[in-house]
Amino acid sequence: MKALRHEAEALNKTGVTIREADPGDAVAGVPPRWVALPETTEEVAALMRVSASRDLAVVPVGGGTKLHWGGPPERCDLLIDTCCLNEVLEHATGDLIVRTQAGVTMDTLAETLGGNGQELALDVPLDGATVGGTIATATAGPRRFRYGAPRDLLIGITVVLADGTVARSGGKVVKNVAGYDLGKLFSGSYGTLGIITEATFRLHPVPVNRRWITVELPVSESQASGGAGATVSSPEGLETLVAELATSQAEPSAIELDWPDARGEATVAVLVEGTAAQGRALAVQTLMGEHGIARITGEPPGWWTAPPGEDVLLELRIPPALAHTALRAIAARELPARVRGSVASTVLTIALPSDVGEPAFAEFVSGLRGDLGHLGGRLTVLAAPRELTLRVDRWGPASALPLMRRVKERFDPGRRFSPGRFVGGI
């Protein structure tokens, strides 16, 4: 009790609002002792100096929309909530640049930018997601095909390191960490290297017009390479269609797939944007019309940007030319799965039934990794109940793990930032 009292006193001396944690603050089932609500980068730095002196393990949290992603931390003493880092600091409309605190929600940022006819082209799929959380989990939506992931739009970042040092790189540099591109390094780091407090992004004008073109592809069956007479389902003509769309002069911003059931039809939806959107949409409709009845609408499909599920969610990344191979491998596992995602970039999200059994889940994950790993595929378990994740490695094999361990040692030698949350227990 005395030690806890001294911790509380030290944290309160920073001037930051501190409260005792409650059950709702647990990180993947691991409860913290304290929750801090800083309002500035300097306050985050003060908290980290206290954490370093007291050897407190720290987990950053934004909107909490992805707090159940990643492994449970080995320990969690202090949760640093960025909800009060909620200001858009600068919007240089003429330069198409915005600088914002990490706790600003993506919805709020979109509303602020939209008032000036500009946008951050990420299409984040989860309501309430923050700027910092989006960068930390490298989340992007359908338009990743044209604009990329957060790291591709990020031109500056401010972070607080384990000892309280404030480091900046990219736009408006004050202090840099020599030899490191912090924006790329922290993108997808799951809070294991430091706390993101500010970010500067490159923006784009809001397109004057948008059109979505959709087509439903029937399922086809082909011989499996396994047992004699076995067949594997896949959307008919998908491989050819995606290749034609990706190289089309219509320059689509997104090519998305929704496949609710391996035994049924799949929908491909394409987005075109800009002043000539209608004419380009007609060209895409003609191309897609060779595969089914293609329709043009001014609104996205109802499933656009939404994840295919919540409870058991996997992410599959594979070289773009192998999308068809990936879908056949998913169907071959003979487990109900809904697949959705950027089929041209081949970042696919897979939802399994919430009541999937432990053996079936483990077999699905290991089988898919075995089928696709040698082809450059990587399967990650984003979210699943703890009893399922105990049966598999959430992240799977990572060839860059030795390098990632060295980076972790460089930035967080005391393992105080989200220990155990990331690949290889980093």
pLDDT at 135 over 90: yes
Burial of 190 (0-12, 13-18, 19+ CB in 10 A): buried
Taking the C-alpha atoms of residue 378 and residue 199, their distance in angstroms, rounded to an integer, is 28
How many angstroms separate the CA atoms of 347 and 121, rounded? 17
Query: What is the share, in percent, of the chain residues with pLDDT greater than 90?
Result: 83
Exposure b/e, 100-127, CB count within 10 A at least 16 = b: bbbbbbbeebbeebeeeebbbbbbbbbe
Instruction: Give pLDDT tens digits for 16-42.
Output: 999 999 999 999 889 999 999 999 999
Residues in contact with 166: Cβ distance below 8 Å, sequence separation at least 6, in sequence order: 41, 42, 45, 158, 159, 160, 174, 175, 197
Question: Which of 76-80, 163-167, 174-178, 347-351 is the least confident region?
Answer: 174-178
Q: Which residues lie closer than 8 Å to 277 by C-beta, 6 or more apart? A: 207, 208, 209, 210, 211
Give the pLDDT confidence score for residue 210 in this predicted structure.
97
What's the whole-number mean pLDDT along residues 340-349? Answer: 94
Kindly report, residue by residue over 282-295, the tens digit of the pLDDT: 999 999 999 999 99
Calculate mean pLDDT across residues 351-355. Answer: 95
**Residue 233's pLDDT is what?**
77
Give the pLDDT of residue 226: 44
Mean pLDDT, rounded, for 367-385: 95
By the 8 A CB rule, do 415 and 407 touch?
Answer: no
Q: Which long-range contacts (CB under 8 A, 24 or more apart) does 383-388 make?
A: 383/68, 383/69, 383/310, 383/311, 383/312, 383/313, 384/311, 384/312, 384/313, 385/311, 385/312, 386/28, 386/29, 386/72, 387/358, 388/312, 388/356, 388/358, 388/361, 388/362
Q: What pTM did the predictor assign? A: 0.92
Task: State the pLDDT confidence band at 229, using cuts at 50, 70 and 90.
Answer: very low
HEC states along the chain? CHHHHHHHHHHHCCCCEEEECCHHHCECCECCCEEEECCCHHHHHHHHHHHHHHCCCEEEECCCCCCCCCCCCCCCCEEEEHHHCCCEEEEEHHHCEEEEECCCEHHHHHHHHHCCCEECCCCCCCCCCEHHHHHHCCCCCCCHHHHCCHHHHEEEEEEECCCCCEEEEECCCCCCCCCCCHHHHHCCCCCCCCEEEEEEEECEECCCCEEEEEEEECEEEEECCCCCCCEEEEECCHHHHHHHHHCCCCCCCEEEEEECCCCCCEEEEEEEECCCHHHHHHHHHHHHCCCCCCEEECCCCCCCCCCCCCCCEEEEECCHHHHHHHHHHHHHCCCCCEEEEECCCCEEEEECCCCCCHHHHHHHHHHHHHHHHHHCCEEEEEECCHHHHCCCCCCCCCCCHHHHHHHHHHHCCCCCECCCCCHHHC
Of 32-36, 81-85, 218-222, 387-391, the range with the lowest mean pLDDT is 218-222
> How high is the mean pLDDT of the chain?
92
Q: Which of the residue ranges 111-120, 231-240, 292-301 would you say has the lowest mean pLDDT?
A: 231-240
Cα–Cα distance for residue pair 403/190, rounded to 1 Å: 16
- Residue-wise pLDDT tens digits, 85-109: 999 999 999 999 999 999 999 999 9
